[in-house]
Structure formats: structure tokens, C-alpha cells
A and B are shown apart, each in its own frame.
Chain A
Amino acid sequence: MKEKKYKISVFRFDPLVDTDYHFEHYLVPRSKVKTVLDGLIYIRDYLDGTLAFRSSCRQGRCGSCAVHVNGGYGLACEMPLKPGKNVIRPLAQLPVIKDLMVDMERFWEKHESIKPYLVRKTNNAEQSYENRREMEKMIDCILCGACFSACLMTGKNPDFHGPAAYVILNRFLHDERDAIQKQRLDIVKGENGVFRCHSMYNCNEACPKNVKPSENILEIKKNIN
């Protein structure tokens, strides 16, 4: 009996050598793989060792392997391969280093620009039960970059912070122990800041952890008004 295979088409591009990107097509035995990441690993292991992509925890926690598959963003390790075609592209809005590996520098720069750390009030009080519970839904962001790539504004405006940075910002705005909330709002209230978000909800759709960046952005906007 002929072995059943998945068809996987992968974006290949080496900016130092190639003039343009192309798609390479691979067939991967279905018995050996389940997820998109399994497929990519199989390709690197047995078909082409030079395919560049990031991966680590393979369980949807570390955020290394965010990619674009068949029209949507997600973590390669969480998305099942489908019968038919699987078209895999790198994260958009970020320069390609090679193949599916993109340069995340701008993403991390934006993350750092919002001062992503607690600056304590002098009273040194411990966090209350209610405050911690309120923040439950904000702690799940793993900074994978999917929302940053899905966002239409991050591509157009290099100064726009991007959805992930706003989620982290909102986490600190909700923290009753934080002393610099006004300063935090000052960072993002300018003309290239949070109001550039036109509520397209692309980030919500892209987020593999269901963090809902759009709702966090709305909360920040309300805080500024």
C-alpha cells in the first residue's frame, strides 16, 4: 500500500543570495508527523537540513515557532497538518533572516519601550487577592510575535508599538503596586501610539493564547481619555 503523505509548501528565502523568495514543496509521511512543527522538523531531518526555522518547547509555551499557515497565524507546534495543502510562511512585518526565521529585533525593542517592569510604590504593599484575579487574563502572553505580524499598523508605522507591547503595558496599568502608570500612558498616547490602532481585531484572531490584545488596547485608550 502506498504511504499517505502531507503536502507541505514552505517559504524559502535567503536575502544574501536570492533575488526573490520561492516556495519549496515537500511530501511528508503522515504516520511520522502530526503538527506543522513535526512537518518542518521532518523536512530538516530527512529532506533538507538547511531549512531555517525556530523551535524549542514543542508544547505551545515558549513562543519560538510562530508562523503563518494557510492564511492564519499560530504556533507551528499547536497547528495540526491538514490533508490537502499546507502553505507555511514566516511572520510578516519583520525582516527575513532566512526562510521562516525572522529578525525579531523591532518586536523586542517595542516591548522594551513601554518599560515592561514593575516600578513599586514606596509603601511596598503586597498584591491583593482581587487585584491578582483581575489580572488573570493578561498573564498568558508568551510574546510570540503573531499579533505584531497580523497587525496592519505595525507594517505601516515603524513607531507603532504593536499589540503585544500594549498587552504587557495594560498588565502594568492594572497592577495596583505600580507607581508610574501616568508615565506609562504618556509613552503611548502620542500620535504614533495606541490611538493608531483602528480596532481591526487581526491581533485577536492571530493570538494563539487567546489573550485578546484588542480588548487590552481598548482599555488603555479609555485610561487616556
Chain B
Amino acid sequence: MGADMKEFDVIIVGAGMAGLRAAIDSVKRDQRVAVITKVHPLRSHSVTASGGVNAVLDKPQKTKDDPFSGDSIDMHLQDTIACGHYFSDTAAVETLVNRGPGMIKELERWGCLFSRTKDNKIAQRMMGASSKPRTVYSADKTGHVMMNTLYEQCVRLRQNKPSQLQFFEEWFVLKLLVINNTTAGVIAMQIATGKIEIFTAKAVIWATGGIGRVYGRTSNPLTNSGWGVAIPLYAGALLKDMEFIQFHPTQLSGSHILITEAARGEGAVLVNRKGERFLEAYDDSKKDKELSPRDIISRNIRREILAGRGVNASCVHLDMRGLGTKKIKTRLPGVQELCKTYTGLDPARHLIPVTPGQHYTIGGIHTNEKAETNIHGLFAAGECACAGVHGANRMGGNSLLEALVFGKIASESANRYIAHKPVKTLKSNFFENACFEEENKINYLLSHNGHFRVAEIRDKMHEIMDEHVSIYRDGMGLVNAAKAIKDLKNKYNNDLLVDGPDRRANYGLIEAIELKGSLDIADIIIHAALKRNESIGVHFRNDFPVYKNRSRHSLSKINKGKIKIRYIPVKSKNKLLKTISAGTILVKK
């Protein structure tokens, strides 16, 4: 055998916003860093983030004539916690809002092209659930400019310290190596050549993003299969709050490409078939209308459609015509381009058909405010992690911030860990055996000629998740979904067909490997949703429409194929300041 072994101090898996930020920090601390990513860093989904990133930059005195003045870090904290239905861990939110501004200014120093105000300050806009305009942006291409800046800094570091930073682009991670609850490294396959290698490291930082492609109707990229979160799960990592899946109110009908919340922040409104602003008719969105939290708007769009007032059976209209051509061109050029390309409509002149769809994974790998997981030497940041920042519903503009802040924190924690880690040499046959196992799995997939193509099983999974594990859930539907997923797992294990025989550049093979993770993650979401007999934030149960006020996070793991779920209390310092309305029951007509 004797697969090649590469040695590093820190391995970072994933090169989106969190991964790159972690890489920059670790290189600056003189670690030898490997970034392993299945796509080129600039192809990561962080580049599509449009709306912006929240941070309180300076604290102008509150003035009478400007209702938007007088923002504060504490207000950012309160907004985040209220939007998350008091389900956030306060220490994690404090870390987020306190360290956020510094991270934005640092990006600005690195050359990031944020939009600016006429007095040369970084511009900020309103987003949903914010009490002040504090979302920093660059037109509607915020993720694109931020990712470019982070990548530029990586290029600069690599040119200055070539031995410190190596990118393994288009390497697909197969396994996280853990021994005695301590990370030892990862096994990865180079997609182009199919060769499998071992990467050892003192610490591993996980930053693989969301799991949206477990659903069919999602704004997530084709690459967010769920495999990224499944790898640490298989290695023993706990997953937190997986039942909390955010559905974004405005995705293009059909393609489910996201129309940013910034469109509503700039003044776009949602209307039904009759052209009425229907959000005003619902109690929970009466006050803030289009700028209400996302969970509320998504539910109310769904209700409007089911009441027969949708534009058709699946969508309502987003009306941006009131913004005017100039504002759309300067503030939302990306939205205009997307609408034209994928619907043939111009938002300056036409109504845009939109519908809610899966958007963000609030749950994820169980971490704390230091980005530590339950496995020694494994740290996680960004959408794949769940430090408890977003509570039961994420506020728009907080995800990019979370990726930046916790990406850096994960690296800081990893470096602290490395400094105190006792040196242990592992027997090399540990690595060789693990490698041998992975080779066997792949050979089995390529040689086993079953009846079901990956796409057939995946499409069926999408159908189940879209139907039963969506904005409105109920016990019956979830039980049925669990049964159906079990059936799909059987088909996957016993009757799968993967085209081969070569593994070089075989994306069909990669998708087959990933599908196992998708099915397990789907199963966990269903079981966690079934077990939470209450409604809060994005998790709404028609059969249990009230919040029982128990404030506890779910922790899931897989043991010999069986899902086990237990609960830990939410660590909230904030007393409930107002009663939570869990939302309204969906009445099917």
C-alpha cells in the first residue's frame, strides 16, 4: 500500500469565508497550513452572498432629525437575540457582535471594496429585523468582494511564505481521522487523478458550509450536499439543532436562485395576486412588513399561497418597480442581472415571481464561542458549525459576520490547542488501515452494479424533504419522511449504480459518496424535528404550535446507524423581554 503522507500543523477543510479567514490567521501565527477544498476557493458559495454583513462601525450620537443614528453594539446583540427568539447562547452572540467591527475594518485595510457614502465612510443599509441600518455592503455583491479580498491576502501570504501555506484545490475529503477522541488528520482524494492521500495535522479546522442540497428547493450550490457535515459526524462529532433550517422568503420561482433581502431593505415589497401587500394582514408581520424576520415572512407567504391568493400555486410577487431604475442599477445590479437571465424579467419594470425555499443551516457541528467541538483538536466555523449565535432564526447579514469572526476564532483556538498538545506519535498502520478502508469503499461503489442511479435516490430525497420537512411540519409527515429516507438508505446500501470503472475526474463517483452523507443528514433533520414537540423560530409544528419555553438545544449523533438525540440547555443570560409568538398554524383548505 503505502499511500503518501503529508504533514502539517493545521489543516483547514473548506475555503469559503470561514476557511480563508482561518487560514490567514494560522499562517500569521507561523503554522504550516494546508487548505483542502473540493472547489477552487473563489468558487465557494460565499461569493454569492449578496446583501451584506452586519457590524456597528462607529457610534454616532443619536440625533433628533436622523432616526437611524445612535446604533450600538448592544443593539446589535439585542436584535440578534430577539430575531433568534431568545434561543441564542449569549456568550457566542457577544463574541460575534464585539469582534465584528474589527473584522470589517481589517478587511477594509486589506483593500475590500465596500460601497461608501458621499462623506467617504463605509456605507450601511437596512436588513430585516435590524433596528438600525448596520449592514455593510458592496452593491449586492458583498460576498464576491469579501472573498476576493480574503483570497488576495492568501495569495500574498503564499508569495511571502511559500512553505507556510499550501492549497489543495479540488481535493475531496473522504474521512476525518480521530483516535481517542483526538483528531489526527484527514484522508482526501484528488478529484482529477483519483489518488488518495493522508494529511496529518495537529489541529483540524472544519469550514465546509451549509447542507442545503439535502433539499430540492434551495438557494444553495450544487456542492453543498451535506457531506461536509457528515464527515465529522461519522468521526464522532455532535450535531446541534439540526431541525433548525432557515427558509428564505424570496427565491426565484422554479430555479430557487436567491433574491437578496437587501432588495426589501432598499424598498421592494411583497404582493399577492390582487397586488395587495399581504404581510400587513398578518399579526406577526403587521409592524415591520417586508423587514420582519425571515421565518415570519416565509410562513406568511406560504399561508397566502394556500389561501388561494398567490400568483399561482407556488409563488407571490416581489415588486421592485417603486425603487426606480437608478437605485436598482447602483444598489442591486446583481438582482437585476439574475432576474433577466433566469426569468427574462426586468425588476425595474416587471413583478418578479418569488417563493420561499431552503437557504441556511442554522444547526451544525456543535461548537461553543471558542469554535471548539466535542473532539479534541477539531474546530468548526461558519455555516457548518453551530455555536448558538443564530438561535431559532438567523438575522440577515449575520452569516458572513459569523464566518469571519468564528473563522478567525477557530484558528486562534487551534493555535492555543497546538501549543499545549502533548506530542504523541501514532503507529503508521493506523493511517494505512484507514486509507485501505477508503480505497475499498470506493472500489465497492465502482464495481457494485445495482439498479438505482444516484440521481434517482437524490431526487426522491429532495421530494421528501421539500414536502414534509419544510416551513410547516407535522408529526405524521415527519414519520412518513423518516420511513421514506430509511427506504432510500436501503436502496443506497444494497442497490446503487455508479458509472465507472475509472475514478479519475469521476464526479458521478463523488456524488455517490456524498449521497450517503446527504441521506444521513436528512435523517437527522427529520428525527430532530420529530422529537421537538414545540414551535419556535424556523421550526414550526402544526401539531404543536406553541413554544414550551424549555430553551434547550438538541444534540444528535449516529451510533451504528442509529440516530441518538439528547438535549442541553440554551445558555442565555437574557431574560425573556417579550413573549414569543411562535407563529400561526397553517390551515390547509
Contacts and interface: CB of A to CB of B under 8 A. Distances in A.
Interface of A: 14, 16, 34, 41, 44-46, 48-64, 78, 97-99, 101, 103-104, 108, 112, 115-118, 120, 124, 126-129, 132, 135-136, 139-140, 142-143, 175, 177-178
B227 to A, nearest CB: 14
Given A44-B507, A57-B221, A139 B48 contact: no
B155 A116 contact: yes
9 closest pairs, A vs B, by CB? A49-B508, A118-B111, A49-B499, A45-B455, A117-B152, A98-B505, A52-B505, A117-B156, A61-B48
Contacts, number: 143
B139, B454, B499 — which one has the most chain A CB atoms within 10 A of its CB? Answer: B499
24 contacts: A14-B502, A14-B504, A49-B454, A49-B507, A50-B506, A56-B39, A56-B223, A57-B48, A59-B255, A59-B257, A60-B338, A62-B43, A64-B39, A97-B505, A104-B40, A116-B152, A118-B152, A120-B109, A127-B116, A129-B118, A132-B114, A139-B138, A140-B141, A142-B47
Nearest to B498: A49
Given A49-B509, A62-B39, A126-B121, 5 more contacts: A57-B43, A57-B221, A60-B341, A118-B110, A142-B47
Given A44-B507, A177-B111, A97 B47 contact: no
A127 B120 contact: yes
Interface string B480-523: 00000000000000000011101011111101000000000000
Contacts of B401: none
B108 A126 contact: yes
Interface in B284-328: none
A62 B224 CA distance: 14
B116 A132 contact: yes
A218 B99 CA distance: 42
B155 A117 contact: yes
Given A62-B45, A132-B116, A112 B192 contact: no
Interface in B109-128: 109-111, 113-121
B507 A53 contact: yes
Contacts of A14: 502, 504
A57 B45 contact: yes
Contact of B145 (A57, A59, A139, A177): A139
Contacts of B266: none
Contacts of A61: 47-48, 144, 334
Contacts of A57: 43, 45, 47-48, 221-222
A64 B148 CA distance: 15
A46 B505 contact: no
A62 B506 contact: no
Contacts of B200: none
A191 to B, nearest CB: 24
Given A46-B455, A139-B138, A126 B504 contact: no
B72 interface: no
B444 interface: no
A105 B342 CA distance: 31
Nearest to A48: B499
Nearest to B42: A143
A129 B330 CA distance: 13
A132 B118 CA distance: 10
B467 interface: no
B153 interface: yes
Contacts of B511: 49
B273 to A, nearest CB: 25
B44 interface: yes
B170 to A, nearest CB: 9
Given A50-B500, A129-B120, A55 B257 contact: no
Given A16-B504, A50-B508, A129 B47 contact: no
B25 interface: no
Contacts of A178: 111
Contacts of B498: 49
B360 to A, nearest CB: 15
A72 B500 CA distance: 31
A49 B341 contact: no
B433 interface: no
B453 interface: yes
B335 to A, nearest CB: 11
Contacts of A53: 507
Nearest to A124: B109
Given A61-B48, A142-B42, A50 B502 contact: yes
A61 B148 CA distance: 12
A143 B160 CA distance: 23
A78 to B, nearest CB: 5
A41 to B, nearest CB: 8
B549 interface: no
A114 to B, nearest CB: 10
Q: By CB atoms of chain B within 10 A, which of A14, A44, A104 has the most?
A: A44
B443 interface: no
B453 A132 contact: no
B159 interface: yes
B337 interface: yes
A104 B155 CA distance: 16
A108 B48 CA distance: 20
A44 B454 CA distance: 10
B337 A60 contact: yes
Contacts of A98: 192, 504-505
A190 to B, nearest CB: 19
Contacts of A99: 505
Contacts of A129: 116-120
Contacts of A59: 48, 255, 257-258, 338, 342
A127 B118 CA distance: 11
A210 to B, nearest CB: 9
Nearest to A177: B111
Contacts of B138: 139
A56 B510 CA distance: 14
Contacts of A51: 507-508
A136 to B, nearest CB: 8
B116 A101 contact: no
A92 to B, nearest CB: 19
Nearest to A140: B141
A58 B221 contact: yes
B83 to A, nearest CB: 26
Contacts of A58: 221-222, 255, 257
Given A56-B221, A128-B116, A45 B454 contact: yes
